Amino acid sequence: MNTESEYQGRNIVLTGFMGAGKTSLGKAVSKLLQVPFLDTDDLIEKSEGMTISEIFAGKGEQYFRSLETETVRKLAGRGGRFVLSVGGGLPLREENRPLLREAGCVVYLKADIDTLSMRLSKDTKRPVLQQGGGTLEEKITRILAQREPLYLEAADVVIENDHRPFREVAAEIAQLVM
C-alpha cells in the first residue's frame, strides 16, 4: 500500500479568515513536525518595529499589503523547512497566491461564521474588523463572501477547523507532509 502523501517533505502554509486558528494550529503543527513556526504578521511587526494596527493607522492598508507581498516572496525563496501562518488578507493579492504555493502545501483552514464571530468577539487588534458598518457577524459574513473564492483558489487542501478537537486537526495537517 502506498501511504506517501503527495505533499511529503513540503512546508505547510496556513491560510484562512481571522480567527480560523492559523497561529495556534501553526504552532502545534510546527511542534509535531519539529520545524520552526513563522507568521507573516510577526515578521512584519518585527521588521517595521510597529504593530499591525499602528501600520494600518500610520501608513495605510496598501502599505501593509505591499509588506505582505515582500514577506511572502522572501519566504517562497527561502530554503529549509517551516510551518507558516499568513495574515487573513494575504491570499487576496493575485501575485501572492503562486508565492504561497511555492512556499509550501497551502492549507485553507475553514471555519463557519458562528465560530469566527465567537472567536473574534473580543478582538481589538484587527483593523479590518474595526472598519465599515454593521455587527461583527455582518462584517464577517460580508468579508468572508468576498474572500472565500480566493482562499479556495489558493489552497491545495481545505481543512475544517470547527467543532473538532484541536489535536485532531493539528495531526491531520502535520500528516499531509509526513
CB closer to ligand S3P out of 22 and 174: 22
| CB burial readout 131-156, b (16+ within 10 A) else e | eeeeeeeebbeebbeebeebbeebbb
Cell of 38: 513563522
Residue with Cβ nearer ligand S3P (92 or 175): 92
Question: What's the min distance (Å) between Cβ of 94 and ligand S3P?
Answer: 16
Q: Shortest gap between Cβ of 6 and ligand S3P (angstroms)?
A: 26
Instruction: Give 22 or 139: the residue with its C-beta nearer to ligand S3P.
Output: 22
Min dist CB 58 to ligand S3P, Å, is 14
Q: In sequence order, what are the residues at sequence separation of 6 or more whose Cβ sits closer than 8 angstroms to the Cβ of residue 27?
A: 37
The three cell numbers locating residue 133: 458598518
Which residue has the closest beta carbon to ligand S3P?
87
Q: How far is the CB of 32 from ligand S3P (least distance, A)?
A: 20
Q: Please give the sequence-ordered ranges of beta strands (E in DSSP) within 46-131, or none if there are none.
A: 83-85, 105-110
Contact present, 28 and 122 (Cβ < 8 Å): no
CB of 87 to ligand S3P, least distance (A): 2
* Closer Cβ to ligand S3P, 162 or 175, answer by number: 162
Binding site for ligand S3P (CB under 6 A): 18, 22, 41, 52, 87-89, 126-128
* Dihedrals phi, psi of 17, to nearest 5 degrees: -65, 155
Of the pair 128, 171, the CB lying nearest ligand S3P is at 128
Report phi then psi at 117, rounded to 5: -60, -45
Compute the least distance from the CB of residue 9 to ligand S3P, in Å: 26
User: End-to-end alpha-carbon separation of the chain, Å?
Assistant: 16
Give the SS3 label for residue 78. coil
Nearer to ligand S3P, 118 or 128 (CB): 128
